[in-house]
Structure 1
Amino acid sequence: MTTILSPEKIAAQITTQMTVKTLLRWDLSFLRAIPGGAFIALGFMFFITSQVGAAEAMPWGMHRLIGGLAFSVGIVLVVVTGGELFTSSTMALSARAAGRITTLQLLGLWTRSYLGNLVGAVSVILLCYFGGIHHSAEGAWGDLVIKTAEYKVSHSPFEAFVLGIGCNLLVCIAVWTANAGKTVIDKLFLLMLPVAIFVATGFEHSVANMFMLPFGMLLGADITAGQLLLGNLLPVTLGNIVGGGVMIGLFYWFVFRGANTAAEPVAAEQLNRAEP
Structure 2
Amino acid sequence: MPALFEFDAYSPREIAERVETVGVAKARLPLLSMLVLGVLAGAFIGLGALYFVVVRSDPTLGFASRQVLGGIAFALGLILVVVAGAELFTGNNLLVMAWADRKISTAELLRSWFIVCAGNFIGAVGLALLVFLSRHAELNNGAIGQEYLKIAAAKIAMPFWTAFFRGVLCNALVCLAVWMALAGRSVVDKVVAIVVPISAFVAAGFEHSVANMYLIPMAMLLQQVADAGGPAITWTGFFSRLLPVLLGNIVGGSVLVGLVYRLVYRRFPDH
1:214 counterpart = 2:232: no
SS of structure 1 residue aligned to 2:207 = coil
Cα distance, 1:225 vs structure 2: 2.6
* 1:101-134 deviation digits (Å, cap 9, x = unpaired): 1111100000110011111101111111111111
Give 1:109's aligned residue: 112
* 1:178-231 deviation digits (Å, cap 9, x = unpaired): 11111211111001110000001100000000001111112116223322112x
1:253 counterpart = 2:265: no
Cα distance, 1:258 vs structure 2: 4.6
Cα distance, 1:154 vs structure 2: 1.6
Give 1:224's aligned residue: 234
1:76 counterpart = 2:110: no
1:88–1:244: 8 Å Cα contact kept in structure 2?
A: yes
Cα distance, 1:82 vs structure 2: 1.1
SS of structure 1 residue aligned to 2:144 = helix
Give 1:270's aligned residue: none
Cα distance, 1:246 vs structure 2: 1.0
Cα distance, 1:81 vs structure 2: 1.0
Distance, in Å, in 2 between the alignment partners of 1:140 and 1:59 is 16
Distance, in Å, in 2 between the alignment partners of 1:207 and 1:196 is 16
Q: How many residues align?
A: 258
| TM-score between both structures, scaled by the size of structure 2 | 0.92
Equivalence map 1:21-170=2 (5 Å): 21-53=26-58, 56-170=59-173
Segments of 5+ residues of structure 1 without an aligned counterpart are: 262-276
> Which has the larger displacement, 159-168 or 212-221?
212-221
With over 3 angstroms needed to count, the CA separation of the structure-2 counterparts of 1:260 and 1:233, relative to structure 1, is farther
Distance, in Å, in 1 between the alignment partners of 2:37 and 2:125 is 15
SS of structure 1 residue aligned to 2:75 = helix
Distance, in Å, in 2 between the alignment partners of 1:259 and 1:32 is 34
1:7 counterpart = 2:12: yes
| TM-score between both structures, scaled by the size of structure 1 | 0.90
- Bigger RCO of structures 1 and 2 (CA < 8 A, at least 6 apart): 1
Cα distance, 1:100 vs structure 2: 0.5
Give 2:243's aligned residue: 234
The one-letter code sitting in structure 2 at the alignment partner of 1:27 is L
The one-letter code sitting in structure 2 at the alignment partner of 1:255 is V
Distance, in Å, in 1 between the alignment partners of 2:24 and 2:34 is 12
1:15–1:260: 8 Å Cα contact kept in structure 2?
A: no
Distance, in Å, in 2 between the alignment partners of 1:50 and 1:114 is 27
Structure 1 segments of 4+ aligned residues over 6 angstroms from their partners:
none
1:11–1:259: 8 Å Cα contact kept in structure 2?
A: no
Cα distance, 1:260 vs structure 2: 6.7
Segments of 5+ residues of structure 2 without an aligned counterpart are: 1-5, 224-230
Question: Could you say what the CA RMSD is over the residues aligned between the two structures, in angstroms?
Answer: 1.4
Distance, in Å, in 2 between the alignment partners of 1:93 and 1:260 is 17
The one-letter code sitting in structure 2 at the alignment partner of 1:133 is H
> Which has the larger displacement, 215-224 or 193-202?
215-224
